[in-house]
């Protein structure tokens, strides 16, 4: 039997625990030796490496639509701290290092968030859509991902975007971050925008090295276990020459696993029993 946390027995202590955790988290970051990206460019870098877009409103969550509208508000608030950010050689991008003060002057609103594997509402909910987009952009660069966490549960089908399965990135301030290090000699820039109900993202560079990076989901499987259906997939990065489109490399990055919290389309192949390792 799992031992309950103190905050589960005494829930009134949870705000204090969160405050302590965030304070400790940022103090540790200040001493970890990393040089975190913090400069916003006045203009745009000249080379666009990749762009993507995703609709922000999901009307099929089972929750009041206002939580979706609140998510849009939260996304726009946080994006102000990220749009135009430069990631120079040797620097580390951190989602929370940039977004931590986004609500200092204008408070976030209540939105949907996954907490302990359960979909609920909380202050600032919905920011994972922004971290998902940023992770998808980063995967299309040669930057090195140093911290990424997948959702334990996928509550809804994949949104209508070009992102493949297994490329989400959940964030929780004080606990889970999205970080990527620029080990190259190039400068990268992130641009975030909003148009026609979509959140849009672009990643730019200061020069064209003649390569383009892609992402492929390999070995997608669904497995039924006692506690539900699980999706597993191997996420791979590809490299192609920009001049002729010839692929020069494909490298597995990680294996993603999450529980599916919605009905899969009819005809989806589901294996029974233990997942393959």
Position 54 confidence tier, pLDDT thresholds 50, 70, 90 = very high
Q: Is the pLDDT of residue 62 over 60?
A: yes
Q: Which pLDDT value is given to residue 78?
A: 98
Q: What is the mean pLDDT of residues 178-185?
A: 98
Residue 126 CB burial class (10 angstroms; 0-12, 13-18, ≥19): buried
Q: What is the mean pLDDT of residues 49-60?
A: 91
Q: Is the pLDDT of residue 12 over 60?
A: no
Q: Is the pLDDT of residue 58 over 90?
A: no
- Beta pairing class for 188-195 and 198-205: antiparallel
Among 267, 255, 68, 50, residue whose Cα is nearest residue 159: 68
Q: Which pLDDT value is given to residue 9?
A: 55
Q: Is the pLDDT of residue 11 over 80?
A: no
Q: Is the pLDDT of residue 276 over 70?
A: no
The distance of Cα 12 from the centroid of its chain, to the nearest Å, equals 30
CB 222 within 8 A of CB 264: yes
Q: What is the pLDDT of residues 111-162, one digit of tens each?
A: 988 777 678 888 999 999 999 999 999 999 999 999 999 999 998 887 788 9
| Four-residue CA torsion sign, 163, 166, 172, 176 | negative
Q: Which pLDDT value is given to residue 155?
A: 87
Q: What is the mean pLDDT of residues 33-57?
A: 96
């Amino acid at each position: 039997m799992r031992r309950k946390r103190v905050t589960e027995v005494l829930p009134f202590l949870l705000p204090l625990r969160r405050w302590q955790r965030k304070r400790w988290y940022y103090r540790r970051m200040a001493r970890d030796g990393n040089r975190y990206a913090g400069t916003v460019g006045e203009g745009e870098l000249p080379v666009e490496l990749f762009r993507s877009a995703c609709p922000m409103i999901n009307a099929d969550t089972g929750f009041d639509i206002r939580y979706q509208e609140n998510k849009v508000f939260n996304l726009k608030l946080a994006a102000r701290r990220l749009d135009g950010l430069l990631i120079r050689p040797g620097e580390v991008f951190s989602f929370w290092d940039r977004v931590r003060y986004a609500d200092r002057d204008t408070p976030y609103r209540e939105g949907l968030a996954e907490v302990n594997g359960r979909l609920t509402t909380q202050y600032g909910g919905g920011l994972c859509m922004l971290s998902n987009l940023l992770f998808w952009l980063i995967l299309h660069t040669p930057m090195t991902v140093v911290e990424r966490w997948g959702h334990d549960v996928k509550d809804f089908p994949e949104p209508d975007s070009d992102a493949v399965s297994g490329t989400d990135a959940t964030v929780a301030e004080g606990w889970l971050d999205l970080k990527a290090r620029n080990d190259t000699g190039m400068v990268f820039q992130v641009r975030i925008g909003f148009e026609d109900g979509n959140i849009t993202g672009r990643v730019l560079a200061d020069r064209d090295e003649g390569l383009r990076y892609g992402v492929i989901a390999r070995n997608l499987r669904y497995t039924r276990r006692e506690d539900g259906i699980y999706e597993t997939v191997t996420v791979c990065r590809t490299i192609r020459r920009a001049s002729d489109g010839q692929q020069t490399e494909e490298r597995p990055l990680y294996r993603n696993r999450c529980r599916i919290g919605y009905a899969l389309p009819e005809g989806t192949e589901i294996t029974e029993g233990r997942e393959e390792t």
